[in-house]
Structure 1
Amino acid sequence: MINLKKLIAARETLLLGVVVSLVLLIATRFPGFVAPRNLANVFNDTSPLIILALGQMIVIVARCIDLSVAANLALTGMIVAMLNTMMPGLPVIVTLTLAVAIGAMLGSINGLFVWKLDIPPIVVTLGTMTIFRGIIFLISDGKWVNAHEMSQSFTNFPRMELLGLPALSWIAVLVAVAIWLLVSRTPMGRSFYAAGGNPHAAVYTGINVGKTQFFAFVISGALAGLTGYLWVARYAVAYVDIAGGFELEVVAACVIGGISIAGGIGSVAGAVLGALFLGVIKNALPVINVSPFWQLAISGAAIVIAVALNARANKTKGRIILKNAEHAQ
């Protein structure tokens, strides 16, 4: 366990160094990039990705994957946007609660299929991703909900500033703290790692692996629902293809952050740093006149390197176990 913690800490430190170095390198071309206000804007732009990556982290740690998060975001966002057009006086706190509840319900659908029917998570979430997008088209008839149809309180909430940061950024911070407390201070959090690290051994310790994975999907769905409202309110528009393909960016943030696709390994700091790495690239490259195609190439290279490092770490751990077994004999 100590070696595992050291490995995770080393990956986080390395990634933090990469993010800081990247920011400083960009500052040599565009000094204004490191201005506090601009860095705050970069963090705010990355906040939706951070929230979704934290939910995805729990799912991946539990040895699953959720490819429906962006579709969940889009469907929840469309529902609350349409509700706002019908009930413009609905308090924001009620809208937030509904968004989280709807997202959690959609996530529970994924969890039930994985838990009760034992269908591979990638198959389930690919299917629900398509279904959710189809439902958006059915309920909206393919039409957009635009800014002039939304109430001012609905669209203003994510932009409300406190101590120089918008509410969207503060929510990302609060979610990060809440997920950290969940995975490090509660039995449920520890069960995610146990179920993902060694599901067979977890059963013998009294952990219901399927039920644990179900709750991982519920949490991921709830955060996707929360992000759905924040996304739609911030950009003041809702439509069928909102956040199209964003699920791949969420998974990329987790992989770059050191969360092992094999399950059982990952941290909140890693997920946040992985998201920030992609956020810095996304915001910086256009500013310094670098082609968006390089953004894809850099992100792809980072994913390949991260996967290679994960594979190497797993091989090293396997050699240590074998070595210890030989000494025991």
Structure 2
Amino acid sequence: MAVHTANAPAAESAAKKESKLAGLAKFRELGLLAFILLLAIGVQIRNPSFLTIENVMDMATNTAILSILAVGMMLVLVTRGIDLSIGATLALSGMLVAQIVSASAGFSPLLAVITGIGIGTVCGLVIGGLVAWLGVLPIIATLAMMNIYRGFTYMASDGKWISSYQMPESFVGIATSSVLGINTLILIALFIYIAAYYFIGHTRTGRQIYAVGSNPESAKVTGINEKKILILVYTLMGGLSGLCGVLWVSKFASAQGDTASGYELSVIAACILGGVSIAGGSGKLSGVILGAVLIGILNNALPMMDVSPFWQKGIEGTIILGAVLLNAAVKRGVERNHLLRRRI
């Protein structure tokens, strides 16, 4: 009885700590949103043209592609994986589709989008096969395929660019047109968000993705096909990369071999800022979208504040490092308190 009495305060203290840490993990999106608002206000004070309708819409369109890719990367990270090939996949699909539409002016914009998604899906399927069936580590498989896809892009283009004058107006209009005053890129991104929200929260497969990332061994015991899930997430990532390849080329009216080089780092950064754990098993769509918005604001605001490009990367890296450390601290704290409660 004495032992129980002695342990009671410790148990109560552990429960309070766990509650606080769980609350921090649960509501970190609110903190991220508050930071975004404070940053926007601070930039607006320095440069009154920051929050103009024109600049806000420009930021939204520039962030749309990043946020679409971040949705796919979130699913990959949740399964304890990573995909470093998305920039190369984007470039390859964008280049091939640009060559098709430049050679055939009557090529339907919808068919161009479908073609880009198809090319990206095949690229993602190859990576999924390497990871799921051959057991290649995700970082190795995607790094290798990144170089292969980038090489294919240079081979297909023969080192040449495809510029706006070679593309039909209907193709360029994919990313530059608007519906009810809203840019098409933003509408496509919203559609992707809604589809992802339903898929993650209201389908069995969506729940299985998190189960595989949380505890692969337990997932196997419950009958979840881990290989199928891994192939699925990398294929989805590839498909979204293919879609963004078409959107990128349409938006910037240019296709070249080094398109989106290094862009995968910004996508991963958006996910980490949004609270996706690199250890797998956790991540929220709302957080990822906010992370993408923050990256978009930084990319737009820092040049407007006359911050050196070298400092821009340093500031972005510092914020990302802080987010990683916060994620790690929250996770360690929750696990430590769970362990303490079990001992008590």
**Under a length normalisation based on structure 2, what TM-score does the superposition of the two structures give?**
0.92
SS at match of 1:286: helix
- Equivalent AA in structure 2 for residue 99 of structure 1: G
Structure 2 SS opposite 1:148? helix
Amino acid at match of 1:257: G
2:210 is the alignment partner of 1:208: no
For 1:144, the equivalent position in structure 2 comes to 161
Q: Aligned residue for 2:50?
A: 33
2:320 matched to 1:303? yes
Matched, 1:107 2:124: yes
- Partner AA of 1:128 in structure 2: M
CA contact under 8 A between 1:8 and 1:267: conserved in structure 2?
no
Report the CA distance between 1:218 and its aligned residue.
0.7
Q: Whole-Å Cα distance in 1 between the matches of residues 56 and 290 of structure 2?
A: 14
State the match for 2:242 in structure 1: 225
Q: 1:194 aligns with which of 198, 202, 211?
A: 211
1:105 positional shift: 0.9
CA deviations on 1:74-104 (whole Å, 9 max, x unpaired) are 0000010001012211111111111111111
Query: Which deviates further from its counterpart, 214-223 or 28-37?
Result: 28-37
Summarize the alignment of residues 39-118 of structure 1 with structure 2, pairs less than 5 Å apart.
39-118=56-135
Residue 172 of structure 1 and its aligned partner are, at CA, apart by: 1.0
* Secondary structure, counterpart of 2:84 in structure 1: coil
Amino acid at match of 1:126: L
1:266 counterpart = 2:283:
yes
Q: CA shift at 1:37, angstroms? A: 2.8
Does residue 1:160 correspond to 2:180, yes or no?
Answer: no
The more displaced of 108-117 and 87-96 is 87-96
SS of the residue corresponding to residue 33 of structure 1 reads coil
Tell me by how many angstroms 1:163 deviates: 3.0
Asked which structure has the greater CA Rg, the reply is 2
Aligned mates of 1:224, 1:76 — CA distance in 2: 8
Q: Specify the SS of the correspondent of 1:213.
A: helix
Q: How does 1:247-326 map to 2 (within 5 A)?
A: 247-326=264-343
Equivalent of 1:179 in 184, 193, 196: 196
Closer/same/farther in 2, CA of residues 306 and 65 from structure 1, 3 Å limit: same
CA drift at 1:8: 4.4
Shift of 1:272: 0.9
CA RMSD after TM alignment: 1.6
Shift of 1:324: 2.8
Deviates more, 1:95-104 or 1:123-132: 95-104
Identity within the alignment, %: 39
Displacement after TM superposition at 1:5 (Å): 7.6
SS at match of 2:257: coil
Q: Where does the alignment leave 5 or more consecutive residues of structure 2 unmatched?
A: 1-18
TM-score, scaled relative to structure 1: 0.96
CA distance in 2, matches of 1:206, 1:320: 30
Letter in 2 for 1:246: Y
Distance in 2 (alpha carbons) for counterparts of 1:138 and 1:161: 34
- Partner residue, 1:22: 39
1:169 alignment partner in structure 2: 186
Aligned length, in residue pairs: 327
Say if 1:5 and 1:82 are closer, same or farther in 2 by CA, change over 3 A. Answer: farther
- State the secondary structure of the residue aligned to 1:138: helix
Q: 1:263 to 1:4 in 2, by over 3 A?
A: farther
Alignment of 1:123-134 (within 5 A): 123-134=140-151
